[in-house]
Amino acid sequence: MARSSFSPFKPPSPRRFVAGFRDLGFFLKTRSRADYVIAGLAAAMTAFIIFAFWHDSSFRGEPPIIYVQNWPANRTDDQIRADQKKDRIEREKAEAERKAVFQKMQKATSGWL
């Protein structure tokens, strides 16, 4: 039975290292200029995508501003209910406006399908 000359467990030697670079040099000499341009563009696009992900992960925006209303401690239950009613009316009004916009978009796009 013949033994293979390649073994993944064989320790690396300087001769094999130099031979690998020589083989790479012979391969690259047979390529055309267009191959180098395409390889350069592919490497640049890959580097840009990796950089974009890295930059996005390290970017920290400003913390969100949270507005808090300061109420007096001696408010009555009637005042609280009045404020809640006012807030509910404002919220329902905004929701109705948003709903009207969506209905308008639905009417505009209903004939597409």
Q: What angle do CA 86, 92, 93 make, to 5 degrees?
A: 90
d(CA 5, CA 65): 68
Query: Rounded to an integer, what distance in angstroms lies between the CA atom of residue 94 and that of residue 48?
Result: 42
Digit-by-digit pLDDT tens for the chain (113 residues) are 455 566 667 676 778 778 888 888 898 899 999 999 999 999 999 999 999 999 888 767 788 888 888 888 899 999 999 999 999 999 999 999 999 999 999 988 887 76
| CA distance linking residue 50 with residue 66, whole number of Å | 34
pTM of this prediction? Answer: 0.38
